[in-house]
A and B are shown apart, each in its own frame.
Chain A
C-alpha cells in the first residue's frame, strides 16, 4: 500500500493535534463562511430560543440550529429578544404573549451535564398557535458531539416544518488550492469542523463519497500522473484503485459501495470501466473512438449517465450499467458535461455552455430540455445534497475559486468561501443513518 510523505506528515500533524488538545482545545482550520444571496420569498417563521445551560458549552446549539435553518433559505427568524426569561419547558411558556407577538414555531430545550461527563440534551418544537408539541427528542452524547447533534436537531425541525428530509447533519468535501499546496478537506455541510485528509504539491480532483460515507475516492497527481485512490476516513488508510498507463480518473461509486466506475485512457482514448473498490475485477464498459468519461451510477443501479463526444461535441448519454447501447440525453447547445443524478433518480444536473458561460442546468429524465440554474462565468462540478434540494458547485468570485449552492428550483442561492486560497471540486456526502 503506497504511503506518501504528505500522508506521513498528516499523521504527524494528527498526533501533534492530539497532544496539543490537552492544553489548547482545537486545531483551528479556516472554515467556509456562507452567505445567502437569494431567498424563497415565502419563508417559514421560526424562533429558536437558547437552550438552558447552553452558554456553558463551546458550541451554542440554538445558534447552530438557527443558522442551518436560515441558510436553507426556507425560514426566517422571528426574534424573541423581547422575552425577559427564556422558557425551557412547555409549562414555562407564556402562550398569550407569544401569540400577540406573532410567534408560530418555537424551539425550546435544555442541556444537563451528567456525572459521567456526558451531556443530556433535550429539545421540543412547539406549535405556538395550537399550544402543543410538534416534535421533540432527547440525546445523551459526549460533549464533542454537540455541534453534530445541533445539525441533527436542525434536520428534525426542517423535516417537521417543510415535509422533506434535511441535510444539515451531512458532510461535504472539496479541494483547497493555496499557492502550490492542494488539500482535500472534509467539513460539515455548514463549513464547520473543516480539516484536510490529504495534502499534496500536485493537483487533487474528482472526490466521490462512498454510499456509506466512510470512504472517498479521488484522483491524485502526486506521482506526476493521474491515479485513482480510495481513502478510508475512519483510519486514514488508502489504496490505489486504478493506475494504468495514461489517465486514470472520474471515480463514481455503485449504490452498494462495492464497485467504482472509472475513466481510463489505457486502451487509446478515455473509456469507461468498472472496477471493484479494492482495484480488482476490471471490466470495460464503453467501446467508442471518442472520449467517454464522467460516469454516474444511477441510484437504482441500473443505468449510468456519462459524458461523450461521440456525436461531435461533448453531450450527456445514458447506458445500462453493464455497458451497451447508449441513448443521448442532452440536445441543447454544443457542450453538456458532468451529469449527476438527483438522489431520487428522476432528474440530473450537469454543466451546460451558455453563450460564453458555463452554468449548472437541471433536466428531468425523459425530458429533452433543461433549465439553467446559475449564471456564473465558469461554474463546474455540480453535486446534489443528499435530500435533493440543493446543488453545490464550484464557481468563482473576485477571480477566486469558491463554492456556491443553488436550490433545484433555482430560487435560493448561497455562496461559500474560504478565507484564503481557491476552493474547487466539491462533493456532498450521503445522509447519516442515525438520528
Chain B
C-alpha cells in the first residue's frame, strides 16, 4: 500500500511540473468546454421545449376530438347502432393474415431512444383506426418494445411511451380510450435476437394486437 501511495505522490508531483507549461492551453480548453456546455444546454432546452409543444398540440387535438365526438355521438347514434350488429368480424382473422390487406401490417418501428410515430406509419394507424371505428365492440392491445441495450427500467418506460403514443394517435382519430390497452414489455420480448443494428431496429417497435383474433 505504502509503495502505491509513494508512486502516486511521485506521479502527482510530475504532473504538477508539466502543469506550468500547459496552463495557457488549458485555459483555452476550458473556454472551449464552456462553449460546448452552453451549446449542449441550449440543445437540451430546445428538445425539451419541442416535447412540451408536441404534448400541447396532442392535448389540443385530443380536446377538439372529444368535443367533436360529443357532438357526433349525439347526432349519429341512431344510425350507427344497426351497422354494428350487421358487421360480423368473421373475416378479421384472414384480413390480419392477408399480406394484401393494410391490416396485415401491425408493427410501428422507432429510432433509438425515440417514441414518436413517424409519418411513414400514418396509413397503418388510420387503417386500424377505421377498423376500430367500424367495429365498435372490437378491443385492441398495443405492446411497446425496445432493444436490449441500456436500462431494463428505462426501456420499460420508453416502451410504454411508444405504446401510449400509438394509443393517443388512435384516439385523435376517434377511437375511444377504453377500447385500447397500451402496455410495455420494455426489452423483455425481442423479436430478433441478433446483436446488430437490424435486429435492434426490429425490436424497437409497437405491436397492434386484437385479442381473440390473432
A: residues with CB less than 8 A from B are 42, 203, 205-206, 219, 221, 224-226, 246-247, 249-250, 263, 265, 268-270, 289-291, 293-294, 307, 309-314, 335, 337-338, 351, 353, 358, 377-378, 380-381, 399, 424-425
Tell me whether A226 and B156 are in contact (CB under 8 A): yes
B51–A337 touching, CB < 8 Å: no
B153, B183, B185, B195: the one contacting A294 at CB < 8 Å is B153
Q: Is the CB of B157 within 8 A of A205?
A: no
**A-B interface, 8 closest residue pairs, ranked by CB to CB distance from nearest:** A270-B157, A312-B44, A337-B151, A312-B47, A203-B188, A247-B160, A291-B157, A225-B183
A221 to B188, CA, bound (A): 10
Task: State whether A358 and B157 are in contact (beta carbons under 8 Å apart), knowing that A221-B185, A290-B51 are contacts in the complex.
Answer: no
Bound-complex Cα distance A358 to B195 (A): 13
In-complex Cβ contact of B161 among A224, A250, A291, A312 (8 A): A291
Neighbouring B residues of A206 by C-beta, 8 Å = 152-153
Q: Which residues, 141 to 164 on B, are CB-close (under 8 Å) to A?
A: 148-154, 156-161, 164
The answer for the CA separation of A182 and B43 in the assembled complex, in Å, is 42
Contact partner, A353, options B150, B161, B195, Cβ 8 Å: B150
* B203: Cβ under 8 A from any A Cβ: no
In the complex with contacts A246-B182, A313-B113, A294-B164 CB distance below 8 A: no
Residues of B within 8 A of A224 (CB): 183
Chain B minimum-CB-distance residue to A311: B44
**Knowing A42-B1, A205-B188, A265-B164 touch, does A335 contact B150 (C-beta < 8 A)?**
yes
Q: Which of B1, B52, B148, B156 contacts A205 (CB 8 A)?
A: B156
Nearest-neighbour CB distance to chain B for A390, whole angstroms, equals: 19
Q: Smallest Cβ distance from B112 to chain A, in angstroms?
A: 10
- The chain B residue sitting closest to A206, CB to CB, is B153
B158 touches A291 (CB 8 A): yes
The one of B1, B150, B183 in contact with A247, judged by C-beta atoms closer than 8 angstroms, is B183
- In whole angstroms, how far apart are the Cα atoms of A425 and B48 in the complex? 31
Chain B interface residues toward A at CB < 8 A = 1, 43-44, 47-48, 51-52, 55, 113, 148-154, 156-161, 164, 181-186, 188-189, 195
Chain A residues within an 8 Å CB radius of B55: 289
Minimal beta-carbon separation of A317 from chain B (angstroms): 13
Among residues of B, the one whose C-beta sits closest to the C-beta of A307 is: B154
Which chain A residues lie closer than 8 Å to B185 at the CB level? 203, 221
Whether A381 pairs with B152 at a CB distance below 8 angstroms is yes
Interchain CB contact under 8 A, A263 and B150? no
Complex: how many Å from CA A246 to CA B48?
A: 23
Give CA–CA (A250, B158) in the complex, Å.
13
Shortest distance from the beta carbon of B45 to any chain A beta carbon, whole Å: 8
Which single member of B1, B149, B158, B164 contacts A246 (CB below 8 Å)?
Answer: B164
Could you tell me if B148 and A311 are in contact, using CB atoms closer than 8 angstroms? no
On whether A358 and B149 interact (CB within 8 A), knowing A310-B48, A311-B44, the answer reads yes
Min CB gap B197→A, angstroms: 10
In this complex, which of B43, B150, B153, B154 has the most chain A Cβ atoms within 10 angstroms of its Cβ?
A: B153
Known A-B contacts: A247-B156, A307-B153, A399-B195. Give 12 more (CB < 8 A).
A246-B160, A246-B183, A249-B157, A263-B157, A269-B157, A290-B48, A307-B151, A309-B154, A312-B44, A313-B113, A335-B150, A337-B154
**Chain A to chain B contacts (Cβ below 8 Å), 11 pairs:** A219-B156, A270-B157, A289-B52, A293-B153, A309-B113, A310-B48, A313-B44, A314-B151, A351-B150, A378-B149, A399-B195
Q: Identify A311's interface contact among B48, B152, B189, CB under 8 A.
A: B48
Given contacts A269-B161, A313-B113, contact A337 B184 (CB under 8 A): no
- Give the Cβ gap from B155 to chain A, nearest Cβ, in Å: 9
CA–CA, A221 and B157, complex, Å: 14
A238 to B48, CA, bound (A): 40
Bound together, the chains give a CA A249 to CA B152 distance in angstroms of: 10
B183 neighbours in A (Cβ, 8 Å) = 224-226, 246-247
> Which residues from chain B contact A205 at a C-beta distance below 8 Å?
152-153, 156, 186, 188
Are A425 and B164 in contact, with the CB atoms below 8 A?
Answer: no
In chain B, what residue has the closest Cβ to A247? B160
Chain B residues, Cβ within 8 Å of A313:
44, 113
Cα-based distance from A289 to B157 in the complex (angstroms) = 13
Contact B156 A338 (CB under 8 A): no
Smallest distance from the beta carbon of B50 to chain A beta carbons, Å?
A: 9
**Which of B1, B152, B181 contacts A425, CB < 8 Å?**
B152
